[in-house]
Amino acid sequence: MMEYFAQALWIYMYAVLVAIVAVAIYGVVARPNIVKKIIALTILADTANTFMIFIGYRLGSTAPPVLTTLSPSRADIAGFVASAVDPVPQCLVITAIVINMAVTALLVFLAIQAYWLHRTLVAGLVSKLRG
Amino acid sequence: MRPWMAAATKACALVLLIALCVAILLGATAHTPSLELRPLAEFYLENCLNPYDKAKWAASPEAVTAMLWDYRGLDTVFETTVFFLAIIGSVALFRFAEVSLASYESKLRERREEGLSIIVRVVTRIVFVLIVALSAAIALHGHLTPGGGFQAGSIFAVAPLLAIAAFSRRFVEGLGLTKNSCLAIRTTGLLFIALVALIPLALALAGVGAFIIQNQSKPWTPEFPGYPAQLGPVWLAGSLILFNVAEFLTVGSGFTLLFLLLALPEDFFRRLVKR
């Protein structure tokens, strides 16, 4: 019973993530305003990161991947391996977040430039004006 | 944009979304939540601080930091390069701002006491110190507790952002965080990362057995002693603390630089573009 409940909850979470991806892609593709495109892009990136963290979880794990002692016994290490979540996705996400932020900043700078050169933030108009 | 192009991009987005749904339904994410640990994760968890098998250990109880700067350290160095390029790109877009800003600022010197109300300013003064202290603690403990250079740098950058909002950009520059000093700190951090990563390689070229971004001594490279895992009672985790501190400087000053550029006054841009 509990397993079915967990599975249903998991499917629900995936559905929510896919829905957010849909909204974000809609924002990037269909919104004309560059700032709204950038906001949608950050939402898309954060959803991807959440997705990765989800994949790293396993049922029954109770601890983050940090060993709590500096002189572990063999039993400590075995217990650590038995209880910790998967550290690989976390490792990928750490760098992804910072680089997303840097890329977003670069896009914001480009948007500012475009605004001061063309006096508009509507993507279609910016491409027509040919600065 | 022509109408058919808009329609085509929307169709592409729809196809992408449907592909994602189908991939998940067909099990692209394998069994999630999984019941067992993947073999790769098991290797990292088992060996990150395993004093019984020092051939594979990274001397850090924090598996994520151990992976980030030891097991797949090269990967992280290249990610730092991407970060470097993004910031260099932003600075390059504003490369003309420097000289004209000096003449613009000199005319506005008479203005006094800027920023938000006194409540905000007093609270910001307190929180500013706390944020900086927290970020330094996270950077220095990154090899022992959750955290590290990337996280600490991002947290640090919040402090100047807050100060820009509550006081002004000139307040932050008065603290010494000008555009040029941020660039200097960032370059120092990057050079330090390169130095720590390349010392073992230099030894290897000199004939001593070692490899790039080597942290601890390995059985097949007995001549290279590795970076010290411990200094008296203080746990250093070899090169991990060095990388964390250097990355903290790089990320923190890089984002501070971006926020300083974003806070340039609006009518200054107007004049810059008009010329």
For the stretch A22-74, pLDDT in tens is 889 888 888 889 999 999 999 999 999 998 888 888 877 788 888 888 888 88
Residue B102: what residue type? A
CB pairs under 8 A between A and B: 159
**pLDDT value, residue A131:** 47
Complex ipTM, two decimals?
A: 0.82
* Residue B150 structural domain: 61-274
Give strand ranges (E) for chain B.
216-218, 221-226, 230-231, 234-235
Phi, psi of A38 (to 5 degrees): -65, -40
Instruction: Identify whether B10 is part of a domain.
Output: no
Q: What does the block give as tokens for B179?
A: 């555009």
Q: How much is the pTM?
A: 0.85
Instruction: Identify whether B117 is part of a domain.
Output: yes
- Across all residues in chain B, what is the average pLDDT? 83
CB under 8 A, 24+ apart: contacts of A51-54: A51/A17, A52/A89, A52/A92, A52/A93, A52/A96, A53/A89, A53/A90, A53/A93, A54/A13, A54/A14, A54/A17, A54/B29, A54/B32, A54/B33
What share of chain B in percent tops pLDDT 90? 22
pLDDT surpassing 90 at residue B265: no
Closest CA to B64 of A97, A75, A10, A105: A97
**Which segment, A57-71, B48-62, B190-204, B219-233, is predicted with the most confidence on average?**
B190-204
Instruction: Identify whether B4 is part of a domain.
Output: no
Residues of B in contact with A94 (CB under 8 A): 64, 68, 148, 150-151
> How close B152 gets to chain A, by Cα (Å)?
11
Does A12 contact B at CB distance below 8 Å?
no
Q: Where are the alpha helices (DSSP H) in B26-62?
A: 39-47
Residues with Cβ within 8 Å of B239's Cβ and at least 6 positions away in sequence, in order, are B69, B70, B196, B213, B214, B215, B227
Instruction: Identify whether B26 is part of a domain.
Output: no
Q: What does the block give as tokens for B36?
A: 């067992």
Q: Residue B35: how many CB atoms within 10 A of its CB?
A: 9
56-95 in A: which are within 8 Å (CB) of B?
Answer: 56-60, 64-72, 74, 77, 80-81, 84, 86-88, 90-91, 94-95
Instruction: Identify whether B41 is part of a domain.
Output: no
Identify any residues that bridge with B62 across adjacent strands, giving them in sequence order. A66
A72 vs B253: which has the higher pLDDT: B253
Closest CA to A38 of A28, A52, A53: A28
Of B34, B45, B83, the CB nearest to A99: B83
Instruction: Identify whether B20 is part of a domain.
Output: no
Domain count, chain B: 1
Instruction: Identify whether B226 is part of a domain.
Output: yes
Does B13 contact A at CB distance below 8 Å?
yes
> How close A29 gets to chain B, by Cα (Å)?
6
Contact at CB, A25 and B13, closer than 8 angstroms: yes
In chain A, count H helices and then E strands. Answer: 5, 0
Q: Which residue bears the tokens 């991806």?
A: A21
Residues of A in contact with B255 (CB under 8 A): 101-102, 105
What's the mean pLDDT in B172-193? Answer: 89
Region of poorest pLDDT, from A12-21, A119-128, B199-208: A119-128
Q: What does the block give as tokens for B132?
A: 């900086």
